[in-house]
Structure 1
């Protein structure tokens, strides 16, 4: 089934990070052929803090980390993956608006939305180690093992050195031949990048070498079960193992362990 998205311009009260105005898709064309769409299979449900304006979710082995947003309220957290309880947390410095997170060894990198910095944290103590300047907005972030992948609300994946956070390149992301923007919370899995599409119930799988989306995950059934609305949007994906993921959203009362039966690309 050929998937064609017509993205409406919506005046958001809150954007990825609280107030971003989504841009229409551009017409850069690089992909060919229909992109398959699958629905996640829910395996179990886990409680989730309904006060969490979630911006990032990631497993480091059995340990689950969450980054939350909103200026003056943003936190970096360690969660119990079985109960969803907050084990420990730290507020972001300087009232920064926290965004995507990713683990790099014994550190965590965290983006800020419009504050122009990325924060490097010490995992053992959950204390900030340094701040590094970043051009543009910060949305999603993941670690592919060789570099970091960042989104900024546009139609690009941006690549960064995992030590210095220097930007090393970028690529336009396309779905069915059209550039697709509002790429948000990210996961790097087996050479692919999975991205939540802000203000939608979709997750897309991207080949970072070409920028082409080769799979769309329709999570609308899970969103409805979570009681999603214009604020309670899908925005949290953490790879567990194999074809299993944990997905949730802003202010959602639950996290869902799901299986995504993805055809090979």
Structure 2
């Protein structure tokens, strides 16, 4: 924002005996005070602007704390696990979100085992659960106001629940080609259907209002799965990979990749051989915490995202951009 310059007027005191000049002379102290205030205005404005910049910088640095602070030309990131929490190893995690007060909501899949549940972060305890009919395979989940919105796989069906008691409020027709992932920026819903399409859905009408093809270096990124809105970006698990794509919700361009195979590999190395793929991202915007887990994982991790300290030795496209899957 530009600030217009305030020019100080030159009011020279006149010794002319003209009565009009005398009246002007009587007004001079007030004029001097008035213009003195205006002379101070640029300094006040500069001080306000300086403090505003400091506040914005502080907020920016705070928001980036969980994402790492080093510039990364390659756009490829690794992670450190800064905390780990228990997670139900029988939960086939399909949707995950943080709802404040160290509480998570989770959608699980598999016919006959699908559910929506409220989970205590620290203990992994399931505090409340809604078991779905065995004909449904639970998928993506998001929270919009007091409503939990969930989609199911292969059925074009979605469900809305009361967040307080997980009672099923209504069923709706999923406007996407299939139901895989859901998230929100609290204005619009973002959805995925296992293809390279990122949908924008009106949360009130539940109709698609816009969609983009997700691309990296001009090539489509298929198999978009669980979604999370993180600090202005849409993050997506890419199914069957150890990759999270950081996507611009405005145009679908991949802004960067988070590559985190070590979490799953660590579980396998410690005897958890039945773990399935990485799936589930939750963002705590107040404390700048990112949580991830996977299908049938006994752990949920709080992670910090870091720029790669060394050039990435692998081929991120072959690791994260698999051919499209059809069911």
Residue 41 of structure 1 aligns to a residue whose secondary structure is strand
If you compute each CA radius of gyration, which structure gives the higher value, 1 or 2?
Answer: 2
Bigger CA drift: 236-245 or 96-105? 236-245
Structure holding more strand per residue? 1
- How far does residue 176 in structure 1 lie from its aligned partner after superposition? 2.1
Residue 223 of structure 1 aligns to a residue whose secondary structure is helix
Equivalent of 1:79 in 107, 113, 119: 119
Q: Which gives a bigger RCO, structure 1 or 2 (Cα 8 Å, sep 6+)? A: 1
- How far does residue 163 in structure 1 lie from its aligned partner after superposition? 1.6
Q: Assess if the C-alpha contact under 8 Å between 1:243 and 1:259 holds in 2.
A: no
State the match for 1:215 in structure 2.
256
State the match for 1:259 in structure 2.
304
Bigger CA drift: 246-255 or 126-135? 126-135
State the match for 2:280 in structure 1.
236
State the match for 2:158 in structure 1.
118
Q: Assess if the C-alpha contact under 8 Å between 1:243 and 1:260 holds in 2.
A: no
Q: Deviations over 1:124-183 (max 9, x none)?
A: 110111111124210010011211000001101011111221111200001122110101
Gaps of 5+ in 1: 1-33
Equivalent of 1:201 in 236, 242, 254: 242
Runs of 4+ in 1 over 6 A off after TM superposition: none
d(CA) in 2 for partners of 1:114, 1:255: 27
State the match for 2:110 in structure 1.
70
State the match for 2:78 in structure 1.
39
Taking a change above 3 Å as real, the CA distance of residues 253 and 81 of structure 1, as seen in their structure-2 partners, is: same
State the match for 2:217 in structure 1.
176
Q: Assess if the C-alpha contact under 8 Å between 2:78 and 2:307 holds in 1.
A: no
Taking a change above 3 Å as real, the CA distance of residues 229 and 243 of structure 1, as seen in their structure-2 partners, is: farther
d(CA) in 1 for partners of 2:290, 2:81: 10
- How far does residue 83 in structure 1 lie from its aligned partner after superposition? 1.0
- How far does residue 210 in structure 1 lie from its aligned partner after superposition? 1.6
Answering whether residue 285 of structure 2 is matched by residue 245 of structure 1, we say no
Question: How big is the alpha-carbon RMSD for the aligned residues of Structure 1 and Structure 2?
Answer: 1.8
- How far does residue 223 in structure 1 lie from its aligned partner after superposition? 1.6
Q: Deviations over 1:17-64 (max 9, x none)?
A: xxxxxxxxxxxxxxxxx7411111110111111111000010112221
Gaps of 5+ in 2: 1-72, 309-327
Task: Provide the TM-score with structure 2 as the length reference.
Answer: 0.67
Task: Provide the TM-score with structure 1 as the length reference.
Answer: 0.82
Q: Assess if the C-alpha contact under 8 Å between 1:199 and 1:230 holds in 2.
A: no
Structure holding more helix per residue? 2
Q: Deviations over 1:219-260 (max 9, x none)?
A: 111121122779611001111236531111000110111111
Taking a change above 3 Å as real, the CA distance of residues 167 and 204 of structure 1, as seen in their structure-2 partners, is: same
- How far does residue 73 in structure 1 lie from its aligned partner after superposition? 1.2
